[in-house]
Amino acid sequence: MDIKKLQTLVVDALEDVKGQDIVLFDTTNLTSLFDRIAVVSGTSNRQTKALAASVRDKVKEAGGDVVGLEGEDTGEWVLVDLGDMIVHIMQPAIRQYYRLEEIWGEKPVKLGAAKRKSSAEAQEADAAPKTKSKHLAATQEQPEVKPVRERKPAAKKAAAEGTTAAKKPAAKKIPTGATVKVAVPKAAAADAAAAKAAKAATTKRLAKAAAPAADAAPVKKVIRRAVKKAAE
């Protein structure tokens, strides 16, 4: 039997009896004894036995070979040997203890691909339109989002008034090494003018005091001569 058809039969048989945590691995690169390995959990001894029986019956009905079946007496771990495929049916505690996924889980097989029964059915399934759930936001049509252009306050005001915003004149560039004249403050200029006027008044007053009066009469010098009397 083709390995793809065999793995499809096994997965369907396990799902019919509500097998939990079904995983399927491709072991062609790990061993030459078998090509596939399946691991599934059963909640009780009764369910593990029912899972094994479902796999055995479905494979036999399809014309496949069942090489062996072990572990039915306890039901904790039931192994179904199908030649090219091994099925491990385990209770959760046993499965967690042995961790077969870490040994054989190098190349997992997706269950969706494993359950394709024929190429005709697969093509029909792919061609059929997929229904979208209406309550999921991801499947709903989203409105087209348009970019928002932000405007500066001056431009927005000018647009509302129908005028263009006045642009500030660009500052003049001063060449390197040029002498820049700075205006003197008004208070400093007033102080300098008052000081200059006071200095001029003082100079004028001193000059006037030092110069002789123009209308003053010239001073006459009187020279008295001493007359010596002749000695008698």
- Count of other CB atoms within 10 angstroms of residue 59: 22
The answer to whether the CB of 20 falls within 8 A of the CB of 41 is yes
Give the H or E element holding residue 22: strand 20-26
Cα angle 27, 22, 117 (rounded to 5 degrees) comes to 75
What pLDDT shows up at residue 204?
Answer: 75
Distance CA 12, CA 3 (A): 14
Taking only the tens place, the pLDDT of each residue in 89-123 is 999 999 999 999 999 988 898 876 555 444 444 45
pTM to 2 decimals?
0.50
Task: Output 51 or 137, whichever has higher pLDDT.
Answer: 51
DSSP string, 181-199: --PPPHHHHHHHHHHHHHH
Taking only the tens place, the pLDDT of each residue in 36-76 is 999 999 999 999 999 999 999 999 999 999 999 999 898 99
Catalogue all structural domains in the chain, each as residue range(s) with its CATH number. Answer: 3-112 (3.30.460.10)
Lowest mean pLDDT among 3-7, 160-164, 195-199: 160-164
